[in-house]
A and B are shown apart, each in its own frame.
Chain A
Amino acid sequence: KAGVTQTPRYLIKTRGQQVTLSCSPISGHRSVSWYQQTPGQGLQFLFEYFSETQRNKGNFPGRFSGRQFSNSRSEMNVSTLELGDSALYLCASSGWASGGPGDTQYFGPGTRLTVL
């Protein structure tokens, strides 16, 4: 099976702009989670989508949003970019379909966002 794919791999934006990142999960996986990785804060959970619904959310401002489509592909959007949004954004998919946790999350290569 093909792995998780993310596009684009690199992005350079300026403060105040907005950006949309895309993630295609492993075929058959219905859960997509997004994480932000920075040198200072490490890996932090942004949100998780399952069947087009946001199921969990981390502690990020409302400028960070996402959605999931009927084919399980997901996008995340960051509006009014700030310098501190520069990070590696990782998407992960899992086959979690029940009410319980624990399914392994498989990660994509990430999108490296630089905000100037």
Chain B
Amino acid sequence: AQKVTQAQTEISVVEKEDVTLDCVYETRDTTYYLFWYKQPPSGELVFLIRRNSFDEQNEISGRYSWNFQKSTSSFNFTITASQVVDSAVYFCAKHGANSKLTFGKGITLSVRP
């Protein structure tokens, strides 16, 4: 199976700190897509970003930024100036040659005031 690995399981930071969530993936596909989702305590998975394998440009959206490096099979997510509302479980996921999303185990982020 082509795995998605999120080695960090829990991260705790103080508000306004920057935090980076790591994601490493395995793939045999030439074309693939990577995603990040946020799961707040309510349980719904909230889509954050989609990146295809041909686009290695980094992306910034407000306090969020993503660093995609094909050479190391990594797709890391950084939250700048974290806020309490960022507390959630964050999942990295990959779409390969079919419609099945393969998820990492998730990282629980706690932001303390």
The yes or no verdict on A and B being binding partners is yes
Number of interface residues of B (CB under 8 A): 27
Which secondary structure characterizes the binding site on chain A?
A: strand
Asked if residues A101 and B44 are in contact (CB atoms below 8 Å), the reply is no
Asked if residues A43 and B99 are in contact (CB atoms below 8 Å), the reply is no
**Is B73 part of the contact surface with A, judged by Cβ < 8 Å?**
no
Number of interface residues of A (CB under 8 A): 27
Residue among A31, A96, A100, A108 with the most chain B CB within 10 A?
A100
Closest 9 CB pairs of A and B: A107-B45, A43-B103, A102-B33, A109-B44, A45-B100, A101-B95, A48-B99, A110-B43, A42-B105
Instruction: Identify B99's interface contact among A55, A90, A107, CB under 8 A.
Output: A55
Residue among B31, B46, B96, B99 with the most chain A CB within 10 A?
B99
For chain A, residues 66 to 94, give those with C-beta under 8 angstroms from any C-beta of chain B.
88, 90, 92, 94
**Provided the pairs A43-B103, A55-B99, A96-B99 are in contact, do residues A102 and B52 lie with their beta carbons within 8 angstroms?**
yes
Residue among A42, A50, A101, A104 with the most chain B CB within 10 A?
A101
Distance to closest chain B CB from A2 (angstroms): 14
For chain B, residues 39 to 63, give those with C-beta under 8 angstroms from any C-beta of chain A.
42-47, 50, 52
CA distance A102 to B104 in the complex (A): 17
Distance to closest chain A CB from B8 (angstroms): 14
**Is A64 part of the contact surface with B, judged by Cβ < 8 Å?**
no
